[in-house]
Amino acid sequence: MDTVMSGFDAAASAFDCYRALPKGVPKAIRTAIWNSVPGQSSGRVLDLGAGTGRIGKAFVAANDLYFGVDLSYGMLREFLTHTHEMNGHLPCLAQAEGQRLPFSDGTFAVVMLMQVLSGARDWRGLLAEARRVLRAKGALVVGHSVAPDDGIDSQLKTRLDSILEEMHVEHHRGRRGRAQALASLESASSRKSHVVAASWKVDRSPRAFLARHWTGARFSALPETVQKEALQKVSAWAETAFGSLDAVSSEDHNFELDIFEF
């Protein structure tokens, strides 16, 4: 395996500590996908941006024909280690760029893009390659976690974006690209469905957001001095806005799927 470095490599070992989904959610996501496209359940599944396998593990445990791809060798190494510990059944994993996949045309019945589009700088190239390896009448599944707009994480993300703009730091606007990608898929697909695969309650605090944010590839790619200054400013803002970095808010979170059939 060619060990190309990725922005996620440095955070791979701690990624699941901060960003793991609640127990049962990955299994619910898998169930929702197969319920939505039951005719594809015997085909191969490609997970683009598989990461540490926080969703893919459910497919591996069920012995689906699962293939995981990620640019980060460190994340895939964590996936392999944890899956082996889970049930001894090893997944098929490959380190590759999403725009240059090592698969033939029409290989997969389902291609998943989970928590990927918001971080994709070249979403057009990514979707073109995903469509290339998707078989006729296959399904492309886009999934992401949804938090309330007035929740602590959402407010802090918005404030951090504003701070980086004030610092004249060029940074990636994930939500805009994701919306454009979804619109493109909808216009090209023959059928689209939207599914809330899982819902759960979670406690959030500004301190937990600050601790977790360094594991994001886009933010960790910024110069260390920029990261430190930006987090200091958002921390000071949070102290005023929420009264304390340890203020806790109980929030309703969903994992939602947009399923496009072609």
Sign of the alpha-carbon dihedral angle for 128, 132, 135, 137: positive
Angstrom distance (rounded) from CA 55 to CA 52:
8
Indicate the helix (H) or strand (E) that contains 190.
Answer: none
Mean pLDDT of 179-194: 96
> Using one digit for the tens of pLDDT, what is the confidence trace for 104-160?
999 999 999 999 998 788 999 999 999 999 999 999 999 999 999 999 999 999 999
CATH superfamily of 9-149+171-202+252-261: Vaccinia Virus protein VP39 (3.40.50.150)
* Collapsed DSSP state (helix, strand, coil) of residue 57: helix
Is the pLDDT at 246 greater than 90? The verdict is yes
What integer pLDDT is reported at residue 87 of this predicted model?
58
Angstrom distance (rounded) from CA 22 to CA 26:
8
pLDDT cut 70: percent of the chain above it: 88
Tokens found for residue 112: 């998943």
What integer pLDDT is reported at residue 35 of this predicted model?
97
Residue, of 63 and 12, whose pLDDT is higher? 63
Judged on CB neighbours under 10 Å (0-12, 13-18, 19+), 183 is: exposed
Beta strands across the sheet bearing 134-146: 92-95, 65-70, 44-48, 108-114, 134-146, 249-261, 191-204
Where residue 5 falls among pLDDT bands split at 50, 70, 90? very low
What integer pLDDT is reported at residue 90 of this predicted model?
78
What integer pLDDT is reported at residue 171 of this predicted model?
65
Angstrom distance (rounded) from CA 31 to CA 90:
21
Residue, of 44 and 74, whose pLDDT is higher? 44
What integer pLDDT is reported at residue 198 of this predicted model?
98
Tokens found for residue 255: 């994992």
Mean pLDDT of 173-188: 88
What integer pLDDT is reported at residue 85 of this predicted model?
57
Phi-psi region at 241: left, alpha or beta (left = phi > 0; alpha = psi -120 to 50): alpha
Region of poorest pLDDT, from 71-75, 179-183, 234-238: 71-75
Where residue 190 falls among pLDDT bands split at 50, 70, 90? very high
Q: What is the mean pLDDT of the chain?
A: 89
Region of poorest pLDDT, from 179-183, 221-225, 228-232, 235-239: 221-225
pLDDT cut 90: percent of the chain above it: 74
Is the pLDDT at 257 greater than 90? The verdict is yes
Indicate the helix (H) or strand (E) that contains 14.
Answer: helix 12-19
